[in-house]
Amino acid sequence: MTNTQSLPPAGLMRRLGALFYDSLIILSIEMMAAGIIIAILHALLAIDAITIAPYLDVSDLLTHHPIWSPIYTLYLAFVWIYFFVFFWTRAGQTLGMRAWKIQVRNKNGSKLTITQALIRIGTSGFGLANFTVPFDPEKRGFHDIWAKTQVVVLPKVN
């Protein structure tokens, strides 16, 4: 791995570009994750394995039931969080970060731990933490400061 000191820190616009790309990817993954649950519930409903009364439909059940609604929300949150933890701990890059040629890593160039990835997500404020980048001398986001990580621009490959 290349030492982080030799790579420039990623600026705000590059980070926001990657975040925009990732938001589109996460939106599609969340739609697929929700679709799987809805399809399973519709299949169970079709074979009379479950009943959804007094709810209008499966969607109404998932958004208003006192037990299933929080479970469904936690499931979708888990899918969203897992996306970032998986990519950050494996390659240091989400798909959006790869497109924008940036990588999150420790200052010594090593990969993030699961704990660091969770700290970054927990303190990111849905990406708002990146707005501290222009004010930090090391160009770190608030979540990078807390997780002790750095986002760097990768060199162009010939």
DSSP the chain: ---GGGSPBP-HHHHHHHHHHHHHHHHHHHHHHHHHHHHHHHHHHHTTS---TTSSSHHHHHHH-TTHHHHHHHHHHHHHHHHHHHHHHHTS--HHHHHTTEEEE-TTSPPPPHHHHHHHHHTSTTTGGGGGGGGSTT---HHHHHHT-EEEEPPPP-
pLDDT in tens, 11-35: 999 999 999 999 999 999 999 999 9
Determine contact, residues 11/98, Cβ cutoff 8 Å: no
Q: What percent of the chain has pLDDT over 90?
A: 94
pLDDT in tens, 80-135: 999 999 999 999 999 999 999 999 999 999 999 999 999 999 999 999 999 999 99
Query: Per the confidence metrics, is the pTM higher than 0.85?
Result: yes
Whether pLDDT at 158 is above 90:
no
pLDDT at 6: 87
Q: What percent of the chain has pLDDT over 70?
A: 96
Measured between alpha carbons, how far is 58 from 135 in angstroms, rounded to an integer? 47
Q: How confident is the model at residue 3 (pLDDT cuts 50, 70, 90)?
A: low
pLDDT at 97: 98
* Type of residue at 98: R
